[in-house]
Amino acid sequence: MAKRRSGVAALYNKVVNFNVESLFARHPGPGAPRTVFFNQNLPDSYFDPKGKPKKEHVYPTNQVISSKYTIITFLPRNLLEQFRRIANIFFAFIAILQFFPQFSTISPGLVLIPIIIVLGITALKDGYEDVKRHQSDRHVNHSQVRVLASGDWVNPNMNGKKSRTFVRGIIPTRRLKRKDVEAGAPTKQDPDIEYDRADSMEEGEHHMFGHAEENNRPHWHKTKWEDIRVGDFVKIMDNEPIPADLLICATSEEENVAFVETKNLDGETNLKSRNACPALTDLRTATDCVSKLNVFSVECDRPDTNMYRFNATVTRNGEKFPVDVQTVLLRGTVLRNTDWVIGVVLFTGVETKIVLNSGGTPSKRSRVERQINPQVLVNLAILAIMAVVCAIAGSQIEATKYAEGAPWLYDDDESGDNPRVNGLITWAFALITFQNIVPISLYISIEFVKTCQALFIYFDYDIFYAKKNQPTIARSYNLSDDLGQIEYIFSDKTGTLTQNSMVFRECSIAGTVYHGDPEEDKDGDIKKTTGNSTEIVREASNDSSYASTSARGDHPVVPSAADVIAVKLSNGVLKHFSDERLSQDLVRAVEAEPESENAAQARSLNGFFSVLALCHTVLTAVDPATGAIEYKAQSPDEAALVQAAADVGFIFRGREKEILLLQTPFSKEIERYELLNILEFTSARKRMSVVVKKLDEEDGRLFLLTKGADNVIFERLKAGGDDLKRTTEAHLEDFANAGLRTLTLAYKVIQDDEYEAWSEHYHEASTALDDREGKIEAVCDELERELRLLGATAIEDRLQDGVPETIADLKLAGIKIWVATGDKLETAIAIGRSTNLIAEESNIIIIRGSDRPVQQQMIQAVEEFFPDSGILDEHGLVTCAPKSPSTESASAFPMRRLSIGVRDIVGDDNGDRPGGFVLVIDGAALDHALSDDDHKALLLRLATQCEGVVCCRVSPLQKALVVKMVKDGLGVMTLAIGDGANDVSMIQAADVGVGISGEEGLQAVNSSDYAIAQFRFLKKLLLVHGHWSYARNGIMIVNFFYKNIVCIGVLWWFQIYCGWSSAYAFEYTYLLFWNSFWTIAPVLGIGLFDRIVDADVLMAFPELYRYGRERTWFSMKSFCIYMLDGVVQSVPIYFIITYTYFTTTTRTDGYSIALYEYSTTMVFTTVVAVSLFNGLNTNVWTGWVFFAIFIGIIVLWLFTVVYNAISPGWTVTNVYGNNHYLFTSAYFWLSQPLVIAIALLPRYLYRAWQLGYAPGDLEILRYIRKTQPDLDMTTLRSESMRSKPYASSRRRPSSRMSRTSIACSSVDNLSLDLRRTQDPRCASRTDMSTGIRSVHRGFDFATEEGGVAMRRMQTNLSERRQSSRNLPSLRQISPKRSLRLFSSLRRKRSPTFKKDD
């Protein structure tokens, strides 16, 4: 029996979870490996005997469709989606049943009208939503790109046909012919045709002209994205998006390097460098590309979802050249800082990596809608029971009375007319009689209400972004109530939480904090340097397409970076840095005498900003319009640092090969430094260093300049200077607590002989064949010792407005927030802190892919931090590892504390620490955790113990898998929010997807259910609109079932007195209009106008959202209560009125009453009782609610008066003349108030008791609003929080952080901060892969690791070392020199040296 039950349950779950999209989704299967041919014919093996190309060699088009329907699939797919509703199946069955004459009530054609209307309106709504998706797809697919074309050049590779979409099917459009395939000359002066200027192609110039006689020359033709084919040559210009997966042939830059922005794929803001395939670098013009001499082919592996792997081989002239991810441009990336790139298309459309990581558009249904199905099944079960009872009872009565010779059963023993057959007919007729137990108007009412709720969202000015004139749009109307039940939010970082822009906010130099001036500079300002001062010059151009001066030399019409006097605001940097106190200190430092008291401060300031201006890989460019320098950095972090140095007078003026040019306030001339080595940044090293030599006749010393994480730098500092270390540590702690990203700066002076020896070791390590990376790291570590601390920087990754406050309020609402980003771990943690996701006192648990198994990391995390959770027992995992760090000697993988000057960080009672825990896990660890069900369950249980989770370095597909893991594993309501193409799969996987129309395009919006302009709008969308919609819809639905069960109850009790014949108690017209006119308005009033509390109350008290999370407003429990209430109310309505009328006749003539006399009284009583009951369940009575409650009653009166007066001359009715008996009867007037009062008394007493003796939060707040309408709820909230000082965690500064939040500028005022820092119970950061525990101080630095550009620089430096290994210049300088960094004195003075600083 149990097995049978489980089988039925499995079948039910299969039916409920059936996905319609699985029937209509295209399943092409994994693509096959391919060979793409260029300038040659396809081999014969690619064709079948009939000369047609084989299927595996026909590639998909570049058309990408996010919509659900086509003109062909719309009707069947939409009908299947709608008939997932069990009620619709029932309504269709009842309509078909009434086509048989035995069960006909009215015209058979008329009974189809209601179901057709319901299906039609829903289909129109779904079709409208999908048309909007098609329009968005059209916008993307019709973007243009330059494609190679020529009179005789043909792309031999085969592509399939484009799909005929919904919009194409309705609105035919002229199909443009492709110029590279079709014969014939283009139109004269075609603006879509561009030619290469051969003599300037090297500089990346191009122009357009349209001479007809030259149109057959090779050229670039602007073509729609959807028309791009595999095998096309395309030309991408600066700042243009990549339309398909391309192999790079050539670029405008030296050594054929290109820079791309990949934040649409992985969320990272730093630029990535890519290089051309060495075999194709000669294809630099259209003429080169079409030349028959340039024959080659590209063998590609099958398309896959891995964003970081690409395997292919180029074959040219018999030689093979490897292709990897460094030589391709993926769809979704954007070309930056590169004039042009020529590439060949390898993968298009659904086979591109970004689309492979996105799922098909799902058919989402709200939880409320899914919950209705079981309730409809309950009602259908009740209906079946009622029909069976009527059939059995009617059959038995008929059989008994026939034997007794009842005259009305004469000849009732034939094959088509006997008790058994009539019992079956009674059963079927009972289904029709009681069909209103499942109201057909319920679904159309829900659709109408949800459409109105979507309009309420659209017209809400509070979530309207005036800057872009963009409202919040509901793209899926049927999910509004899901917004009120969200339990988990999954958010992208870049563009969603942040603006992709940096601000150099504060810095600590030699123990002094400079907070920056509070005045806001206007974006786009240019700082012009005039001596030691600066002035602001308005930017005249936003053009960023000019070339880097360091890449190809000075532009012929653009001045050199060494000559200009203005610095433009860098891309990705929001504002200039200025600090009045710092400016004064710099002035004093410049004027300081060598032996004065300001000399030490002068050296510190000079050294600090010199490190910022020299320790980087930034390039300079000159804007031809403004003549100002602009810094071109691979990451906005580096740009902000170099920009800040320039803002205070330390201007990096570019590179002349390996010579760095620096202008400082301490020198009238531009200082020159020779770059000798770059010790590049990696995630493992967490630091970057450069070795430079100052090219100065008086000072030719060697310096090591370093910036990196505080813990890495501090452990490499020279002994001594403890006061400065403690002060800087305290400042770093304050920076991190303010959510700022920190870097620590240090330096040391290198002796010549020390460098010569080290350089030899470095050369040997860099040329080693075995363990090259490890040896280089060891050699670098040797040099990066005995450093001298300079200070620290604090950069703000500018958040979207209101993000910290929104996240804090959503956490107060009880919503768990997970961040899923492609950024690296430190960046994700920094954003977590600045957004309030990671609180100041939160303990961070890090799990990452490493040599240590991920499962062991998770097990030890549970043992260390959640020993009493029982997670390991649930999963049958028993280990002998200790449960606290105090006994770590016995642990298989002991925790070890990083040396940071703190005596202890985590005590034995770590599991009980306040502040909670935040889990941080990277993509490599997720790969292992999600690959096994046991590991997945363990990860899920560990994550649920934490107050937040941050997933970093994750692919788009992993984002979706994480969402599905939580949604399916916990059965919770999820919401995903993002703004890029890399968020599409996550948005589609969640119950509700929200797209932000940001800088990363509209891909996320096109696939979303709701489109918003700012993350902060999510607060009102959920807490107000979501909560209102869920409460309104839930209360409306249960009231809908209630009002129908009252009517059905009255009809049921009537069966006792009509021989269980399934006859109607009411005149059929009253039943026909029951859900159309009499009782529809009150429930619609609840769905449209009810408010559990006002919007400002919900915004001020986010905790009220728990009513939605806990599913208070709609559940099987509330459904049963309302159903029982309806049954109970039907008893007095039927029996009191029945016995009132039949005890003594109401007629004055003494005749007995007719059926419709007293049943019409029941109709009036039932409608009034139901309407008032609905009003009793409405929380706020506005004018619209009053109208909705009483309009049905008024319409009923008017209808009855008119309908009963219609004479047979017009039409025959069963109630003609009923007015004469109905309204003159005392029973009609007296029974209604009595029966209505008795029916409503139980609910009224319960509500009165609840409000008087057991009020909830909502009732209390409604009472406060009623009695004190002018009270500001925000003030009330503040007072309640003050009365509970420990009720919530401390909030961090808002997104517009005050620069006066940190007030510790000297050692004297640090006593409190130092005590806090040394508190053994302060928040910790534990890396489970290494066993290191430390205090997080906000370190973060984003740059490309091991990229093409860095490899190029390292190669150039290596070649210089090979050509000058003896370093003669170093030996000519005396080794006896000061260890100070740079001369801080004016140039006219001779430098004075000391033995010690």
Residues belonging to the active site: 492
Rounded distance between C-alpha atoms, residue 948 and residue 952, angstroms: 13
Give the Cβ contact number of residue 1195 at 10 Å. Answer: 16
Rounded distance between C-alpha atoms, residue 289 and residue 344, angstroms: 10
Give the Cβ contact number of residue 13 at 10 Å. Answer: 10
Residue 972: both structure tokens together: 């919770």
Q: Distances in Å between the alpha carbon of 83 and those of 25, 282, 362, 368?
A: 19, 60, 16, 16
Rounded distance between C-alpha atoms, residue 726 and residue 709, angstroms: 16
Residue 575: both structure tokens together: 């504002």
Rounded distance between C-alpha atoms, residue 1183 and residue 1164, angstroms: 23
DSSP 977-991: EESSGGGHHHHHHSS
Rounded distance between C-alpha atoms, residue 577 and residue 1188, angstroms: 60
Rounded distance between C-alpha atoms, residue 878 and residue 859, angstroms: 9
Q: What are the φ/ψ torsions at residue 292 (nearest 5 degrees)?
A: -65, -15
User: Contact 1083/1043 with Cβ under 8 angstroms?
Assistant: yes
User: Contact 620/652 with Cβ under 8 angstroms?
Assistant: yes
Residue 563: both structure tokens together: 């000559």
Q: What are the φ/ψ torsions at residue 1131 (nearest 5 degrees)?
A: -65, -55
Give the Cβ contact number of residue 547 at 10 Å. Answer: 24
Rounded distance between C-alpha atoms, residue 1199 and residue 1204, angstroms: 8
Rounded distance between C-alpha atoms, residue 1123 and residue 449, angstroms: 22
Which H or E element spans position 424?
helix 419-433
Rounded distance between C-alpha atoms, residue 1079 and residue 1069, angstroms: 14
82: which residues sit within 8 A by CB, 6+ positions away?
A: 88, 119, 122, 123
Strands 58-59 and 158-159: parallel
User: Contact 477/125 with Cβ under 8 angstroms?
Assistant: yes
Residue 1147: both structure tokens together: 């007629």
Residue 512: both structure tokens together: 């002094």
User: Contact 1152/1145 with Cβ under 8 angstroms?
Assistant: yes
Rounded distance between C-alpha atoms, residue 256 and residue 233, angstroms: 17
Q: Which long-range contacts (CB under 8 A, 24 or more apart) does 179-183 make?
A: 179/149, 179/221, 179/223, 180/147, 180/148, 180/149, 180/150, 180/153, 180/154, 180/155, 180/221, 180/232, 181/154, 181/155, 183/151
Q: What angle do CA 195, 196, 202 make, to 5 degrees?
A: 165
684: which residues sit within 8 A by CB, 6+ positions away?
A: 777
Rounded distance between C-alpha atoms, residue 65 and residue 63, angstroms: 7
Which amino acid does the sequence have at 1345?
Answer: E
Residues in the chain, total: 1397
Rounded distance between C-alpha atoms, residue 1182 and residue 1299, angstroms: 47
User: Contact 639/620 with Cβ under 8 angstroms?
Assistant: no
Map residue 998 onto helix, strand or coil. Answer: strand
* CB-facing half-sphere around the CA of 1172: CA atoms within 13 A: 18
Which amino acid does the sequence have at 367?
Answer: R
